[in-house]
A and B are shown apart, each in its own frame.
Chain A
Amino acid sequence: EPEVTQTPSHQVTQMGQEVILRCVPISNHLYFYWYRQILGQKVEFLVSFYNNEISEKSEIFDDQFSVERPDGSNFTLKIRSTKLEDSAMYFCASSAQGGSGNIQYFGAGTRLSVL
């Protein structure tokens, strides 16, 4: 069964460093998303991406964050200068085009620890 793949599974970084979280969405999907879950809190939407541009973003997704689809398969989330409060589990998801009730398929997540 096709799946969303995220790497690495765990990323440790120093405060102020840049990190790139990588995702390989399901191959025929056209909508891509990033969510995050701070320990003990809700899964929160960060950003959605369609047709090579951001389609929607939350207030969490400030100038420190960016997304990119550098080639036909990868979808990345970059955090330019990490803060302690960026420590969280980051989930990538993808969905097919069109129709209501389309399912978002999630990866296993990347746990980001900012020290």
Chain B
Amino acid sequence: AQSVTQLGSHVSVSEGALVLLRCNYSSSVPPYLFWYVQYPNQGLQLLLKYTSAATLVKGINGFEAEFKKSETSFHLTKPSAHMSDAAEYFCAVSESGGNTPLVFGKGTRLSVIA
């Protein structure tokens, strides 16, 4: 069975600082990995996805994530945090892409301090 672990339910960074949100996955097959963001009172919006092409994936709003098979990780980073990045971030895994059920982590709430 697949699973996702997000370390840290809440991460707080200063504006301009590096953002690092951690995600580790477990999968018996090569995984498809996703990061979604949820702003207050909005739906889940896709930030980026890994589908077995390049291991470093670039997404929207300056975010990127690196797939590391040896570490079973897919951490999300952004070099410089902006106030507008404050939101809930969810890592998810699926077996064969977007038409199969997503298995989510518990989410990490990112706060950005001015």
Chain A contact residues, CB within 8 Å of chain B: 3-4, 6, 9, 31, 33, 35, 41-45, 48, 50, 56, 58, 91, 93, 95, 97-109
Sample (19) of A-B pairs whose CB atoms are under 8 Å apart:
A41-B106, A42-B106, A42-B107, A43-B104, A45-B102, A91-B43, A95-B98, A97-B99, A99-B97, A100-B32, A100-B98, A101-B49, A102-B98, A103-B98, A104-B98, A104-B102, A106-B36, A108-B42, A108-B43
- Please tell me if B112 contacts chain A, counting CB pairs below 8 Å: no
Residue of chain A at shortest CB distance from B3 = A42
Contacts known (A42-B104, A45-B103); A106 close to B98, Cβ less than 8 A: no
Number of B residues near A (Cβ < 8 Å) is 24
Q: Quick check: A102 and B99 within 8 Å, CB to CB?
A: yes
Of A3, A45, A107, the most chain B CB neighbours within 10 A belong to A45
Q: In the complex, which residues of chain A have a beta carbon less than 8 angstroms from the beta carbon of B32?
A: 100-101
Of B41, B101, B102, the most chain A CB neighbours within 10 A belong to B101
Complex formed: what's the CA distance from A103 to B31 in Å? Answer: 14
Complex formed: what's the CA distance from A113 to B49 in Å? Answer: 33
The A-B contact count (CB < 8 A) is 68
Complex formed: what's the CA distance from A105 to B68 in Å? Answer: 26
Q: Quick check: A103 and B46 within 8 Å, CB to CB?
A: yes
Residue of chain A at shortest CB distance from B9 = A40
Complex formed: what's the CA distance from A95 to B97 in Å? Answer: 10
Q: Quick check: B97 and A48 within 8 Å, CB to CB?
A: no
